[in-house]
Structure 1
Amino acid sequence: MRKIFFIATILLICGTISAQNTYQQSQFTGQFGSSASGVDSNLYDRNGNPIDTTSVIDASTIPIGLTSWKIDRLFGNRTEIPVDTLQHNFQNTNDTGGPTGHYTYLGNLGAPRIAHVFFDRKDPEQFFFLDPYDYTVVRPEDVVYTNTKSPFSNLTYYKQGGSKDGEERFKAYFAVNANKRLGFGFNIDYVYGRGKYMNQSTALFNGNLFAYYLGDKYNMHFSFMNDNLKVAENGGITDDRFITDPLGMAEGGKVYGNSEIPTNLSQVWNHNTGYHAFLTHRYNLGFYRENPDAKDTVNTEVFVPVTSFLHTVNVDINRRRYISYDEEQNQKYFQNNYLTDIQRDETEHLAVKNTIGISLREGFNKWAKAGLTAFMSHEYRRFTMTDTLAQTPGQRIPTDYVENTVSVGGQLIKEQGKTLHYDVMGEIALAGEDAGQFQIEGKGDLNFRLFSDTVRLEANAYIKNLNPTFYYRHFHSKHYWWDNNDLSKIMRTRIEGKLSIDHWKTQLKAGVENIKNYTYLDNTSVKYTETASDKEVVSYKNDVAVKQHTGNIQIFSATLNQDFQLGIFHLDNEVTYQKSSNQDVLPLPDLVLYHNFYLKFGLAKKVLQVELGTDVRYFTQYYAPDYAPAIGQFYLQNKETRFKLGGYPLLNAYVNIHLKRTRIFIAMYNLIQGQGEKSYFLAPHYPLNPRLLKFGLSWNFFD
């Protein structure tokens, strides 16, 4: 808590100092020019409410404009995103299972997770230990850049429970402009989940600094990100009946409380740290022409880029530590114990990727209907792992693996206009570790009028032939050890379409994917028996191996979003149907449902906006992925002991309040927590949190 209050104090001081510069930003009182942001700004009053720019504004209501965007990792192209000031679904912004419950996770706030909706899963990163923490980890393409007419900051705080088993999250965002072209800011996200069950605490810190310059001829985006993720691993509870049949486990004696239920592991931690620097910039050649949208005599000309020379560099420094102090426990739980003389094993990762390119820009004359970019990339990767050779007692000689990859590619893109947009990109690795790897991706949208409404058709498709990431090929640790030099490249083909009709509040998307050489982590735990109290007890010692399915696996997925409204009554619905052709290798639930019923109304002359409702998450039973604590990854359940999870409705009730610049929610989580036969697990042996009350507060500062 002292860290949180210290960070909040620093932020408030920064906001106070920045507010002194508000009136120096008077040049921002008009719309941003296209050369500054490329998009129109949104206007808000000092309470954070949208204002009508066509009406007369008095001196006491100074409009405050915000434009936010993200960039792609390869070229730094910008995509506008909405400013985060909305009230709706605020209560779900701190849910590890996702805003609509698409993720399997280990119960605690910020715990590792994996999407059980397959089309939500991303390709694994080279340092895949951070992948299960995408709930908080920020990639270069996730950084939000903001162009603001006056300093903007946001403080958000979530709270549940007390000092022994509660959870807290503090988020802060700050953005300021030096002028209409240069801006910078930072973001902080701190998660602390003490855990309702033994040995499952999470402490996740993520922060990033960003800066940008949007000139006529020179553009630049920079970000620096830091991850510090420490998670206690308990290996799950020793017997699910502590949850499913608590009275039976008590045997007429004491009923175990959540914090008293024994777990398989103690004094075990995964600790990931990372530093990431990203810079993308370009120099534009072009000409000036008369600005047809000029509203004054100052911005009479606009710069039209014709050719751009671009450069992107991405540097990643990662380290993962697995810490375990109890060797007797290790011998009992794990099949293999390769490094018994040390209490921790480490692996490190360094990657430096440079991309250079030249781009012929879209729209500089009537014949240039699309932009064309050619590029070349080089990536240097170094991985360091523990080896079996002992240098001195308690120490090991590290082994370095160095990889280089050179690739070339091109992009054809059309972003201008209102009717048709498309983006096609292809890349192939010519030399190095990934030689022969290629990917071709395309997406597009078509917009047209139908019954006085706009209909939007979107499509995306790709063909990828990918080399398995390094840690599928090599991994050395205390309990798992492999060197797979014969893994084949993974061939993935997907096509997906989406139909959106905003007036009807309808969105339908469907797609199909084929995977050849699907690569995954398998549960190869070994069965053994031991005698306890003159009884033979059958157990399994934990082990993991990398497998490839050489055949083809098809996945079909379709999702319907349909919202209804009748006066103050609202019902939001999301239904996903998916099917895997091989449930043994790639198990998926057939149905994933989300429904949200709420009343939305205003009080005090509609200054106070209220949402009062309840939502439910549900997925059908399937062989949900297990979790391997010694590698921090999800893997298949053991085929001899596997069982299905799901069929349990996770029901929450909430009230959202929006007053001027402040958003507040109070929610009751897991209203019908499982009892008896109604077990509530998303992952095997990792129960969800019981019924509890949550609170959240978000405050925007526009000056």
Structure 2
Amino acid sequence: MGPECRRPGRGAPRADPAPAGPGLTAYHIVDWRRQFNNYTDRPQSGTLVDATGQLRFYPVARYSTNLTNDRAEYRQLENEVGVMGHTPTVGYRLYGRYRRASLFSKSYQDQSYPLPTPAAPRNDIIQPFDLRYGQIFLGGTANFRYRSLVAVETAGEILGPQLAGTGTAFSEYWLRATARLGPLSGEFYSSSYSPTLTQQRFDGNHYNWDHLPDSSSAFKNTLVNQVTGRLSQRLGRHHLDASVRFVTINDLVYYNQAAEPAQLDSVKVLLIGTLRHRFNLGKFFFDNQATGTLGGEGEGLRIPKLVANGRIYYQDYLFKKAMFSQIGAEIYFQSRFKGYDYNPTAQQFYLQDHFSIRSYAVADVFFITDIKTVSVFLKMAYINQGLYNTGNGYFATPLYTGLPRRFQFGIRWQFFD
């Protein structure tokens, strides 16, 4: 997607739940989703092994040396019921959510496992596992505001007893508390969460692991605590936003150099600083932001030390305010770091130590126009490719290049005004 151009004073319509009484609103949300992943590797000639009998790319072939066909399907149904209310100074929301979900995988198999010599042909689809579970979440939010000077907000959610499947009651939660006094604000965030379903269980032709709660190699929950301080101040045409975050991560689950999930024994400590400066000179607007991170290297986590983004554009009405347009340029910079490698079988990124992604910058120019309910954008991306010493391309991840210079066009039509 390209940058977004929005006519001042215009926004999307909002549908509010029906009130259940003075200052009280009841609501019900039903959400169903399905996600299907399929990885297939069928060589155009030959098999997955070379002339010497060695696999060409994968560490092992568990079900077939002729082809790989691994599938996983996740289905989820959620019902959320809650109440909300507000007064001029206080607002709240309380809710309960029930989640019913399932995850199963299938793989093509044409030989028995462990592999005999010679392999016995089977030629069928097997289903290594089928997981089903039900969960109850309880949560809420509350906020207090006094004019535009003081604001206090709290929000949280906890996982209740599971009605199906395995797990520990009240094992997951998140909590956030924010206080603001004038231009200064502070936030505390804490979360305890379980590994992802893929990190807990995977079974395919080339990888297999089991870290479910009832297994001998079960992972512990990851605990994240974060303290943030912010300053947001406007001085005439200048708007300054600055923040500092101190983060600790206990028992981080990540994908190691073997592309398999592992849990970090030590505590990861991050110090993250962000600075954003916005100002305008007439109808020319400037928006620059930089984020620096300390502690984002080593085992378990890889984050560039510096990421910056700068944007300059001209905006104005045209044709008697019938058209609102922007024209400008944007540049993104990222410092050198050992980026994550990619495992196409599990479709996950994992740590690697053999490839450094150099520092690079990507510049774009764009034009956006907003005509009543129609928005159109044109963008020439990566215009600096091959210019000066900026390089003739870059790597988004080891051996996967970023997109070259290209032209992008988009249109959005809202059927309401």
1:428–1:611 CA distance, 2 compared to 1 (3 A): closer
- Picking from 91, 99, 102, the partner of 1:382 is 102
Letter in 2 for 1:686: Y
Letter in 1 for 2:59: Q
Answering whether residue 176 of structure 2 is matched by residue 442 of structure 1, we say yes
In structure 2, the partner of 1:522 is: 256
Distance 1:607 1:400 in 2: 57
1:335–1:497 CA distance, 2 compared to 1 (3 A): same
1:372–1:339 CA distance, 2 compared to 1 (3 A): same
In structure 2, the partner of 1:476 is: 203
Q: CA deviation at 1:314?
A: 3.8
Task: Check whether the contact 1:413–1:423 (CA below 8 A) recurs between aligned residues.
Answer: yes
What pairs with 1:36-115 in structure 2 (closer than 5 Å)?
Answer: 82-83=11-12
Query: C-alpha offsets along residues 82-126 of structure 1, whole Å, 9 cap, x if unaligned?
Result: 43xxxxxxxxxxxxxxxxxxxxxxxxxxxxxxxxxxxxxxxxxxx
TM-score for the superposition, normalised by structure 1: 0.49
Distance 1:465 1:661 in 2: 43
Letter in 2 for 1:411: G
1:663–1:311 CA distance, 2 compared to 1 (3 A): closer
Letter in 2 for 1:351: Q
Letter in 1 for 2:72: T
Query: C-alpha offsets along residues 631-675 of structure 1, whole Å, 9 cap, x if unaligned?
Result: 2221112x3xx2221311111223334445544433322122148
- Picking from 160, 172, 179, the partner of 1:429 is 160
In structure 2, the partner of 1:565 is: 280
In structure 2, the partner of 1:17 is: none
In structure 1, the partner of 2:35 is: 318
List alignment gaps of at least 5 residues for structure 2. Answer: 1-5, 50-54, 113-120
Q: CA deviation at 1:360?
A: 7.6
1:600–1:372 CA distance, 2 compared to 1 (3 A): closer
Distance 1:351 1:545 in 2: 25
Distance 1:412 1:697 in 2: 37
Distance 1:376 1:700 in 2: 33
Distance 1:586 1:557 in 2: 14
In structure 1, the partner of 2:344 is: 629
In structure 2, the partner of 1:411 is: 140
In structure 1, the partner of 2:230 is: 498
Mean Cα deviation higher: 625-634 or 605-614: 605-614
In structure 1, the partner of 2:47 is: 328
In structure 2, the partner of 1:215 is: 18
- Picking from 406, 412, 416, the partner of 1:692 is 406
Q: CA deviation at 1:548?
A: 0.9
Distance 1:349 1:611 in 2: 42
Task: Check whether the contact 2:47–2:67 (CA below 8 A) recurs between aligned residues.
Answer: no
Letter in 2 for 1:687: T
In structure 2, the partner of 1:460 is: 187
Distance 1:49 1:376 in 2: 38
Structure number having the greater helix percentage: 1
Letter in 1 for 2:106: T
Answering whether residue 381 of structure 2 is matched by residue 669 of structure 1, we say yes
Letter in 2 for 1:591: L
In structure 1, the partner of 2:116 is: none
In structure 2, the partner of 1:489 is: 221
Answering whether residue 23 of structure 2 is matched by residue 305 of structure 1, we say yes
Query: C-alpha offsets along residues 444-491 of structure 1, whole Å, 9 cap, x if unaligned?
Result: 35364xxxxxx4x44432222222122111101122111123211111
In structure 2, the partner of 1:680 is: 394
Query: C-alpha offsets along residues 108-147 of structure 1, whole Å, 9 cap, x if unaligned?
Result: xxxxxxxxxxxxxxxxxxxxxxxxxxxxxxxxxxxxxx34
- Picking from 264, 279, 290, the partner of 1:549 is 264
Task: Check whether the contact 2:188–2:226 (CA below 8 A) recurs between aligned residues.
Answer: yes
Task: Check whether the contact 1:509–1:558 (CA below 8 A) recurs between aligned residues.
Answer: yes
Task: Check whether the contact 1:673–1:680 (CA below 8 A) recurs between aligned residues.
Answer: no
- Picking from 327, 335, 350, the partner of 2:75 is 350
Distance 1:608 1:318 in 2: 40
Q: What percent identity do the matched residue pairs reach? A: 19
1:592–1:372 CA distance, 2 compared to 1 (3 A): closer
Q: What secondary structure, in the 3-state scheme, does the structure 2 residue paired with 1:472 have?
A: helix
Q: CA deviation at 1:615?
A: 1.6
Letter in 2 for 1:652: D
1:619–1:213 CA distance, 2 compared to 1 (3 A): closer
Letter in 1 for 2:309: Y
Distance 1:702 1:370 in 2: 30
Task: Check whether the contact 2:17–2:27 (CA below 8 A) recurs between aligned residues.
Answer: no
- Picking from 358, 364, 370, the partner of 1:646 is 358
Distance 1:657 1:586 in 2: 40
- Picking from 242, 246, 269, the partner of 1:508 is 242
Distance 2:302 2:133 in 1: 33
Task: Check whether the contact 1:439–1:462 (CA below 8 A) recurs between aligned residues.
Answer: no
Answering whether residue 133 of structure 2 is matched by residue 393 of structure 1, we say no
What pairs with 1:151-190 in structure 2 (closer than 5 Å)?
Answer: none
In structure 1, the partner of 2:52 is: none
List alignment gaps of at least 5 residues for structure 1. Answer: 1-47, 52-65, 67-81, 84-145, 148-211, 217-283, 287-303, 449-454, 525-543
Distance 1:702 1:309 in 2: 27
Task: Check whether the contact 1:458–1:498 (CA below 8 A) recurs between aligned residues.
Answer: yes
**Which structure ranks higher in relative contact order (CA pairs < 8 Å, sequence separation ≥ 6)?**
1
Distance 2:323 2:29 in 1: 46
Task: Check whether the contact 1:611–1:657 (CA below 8 A) recurs between aligned residues.
Answer: yes
Task: Check whether the contact 1:312–1:355 (CA below 8 A) recurs between aligned residues.
Answer: yes
Q: What secondary structure, in the 3-state scheme, does the structure 2 residue paired with 1:523 have?
A: coil
Q: CA deviation at 1:614?
A: 2.0
Q: CA deviation at 1:406?
A: 4.4
1:565–1:437 CA distance, 2 compared to 1 (3 A): same
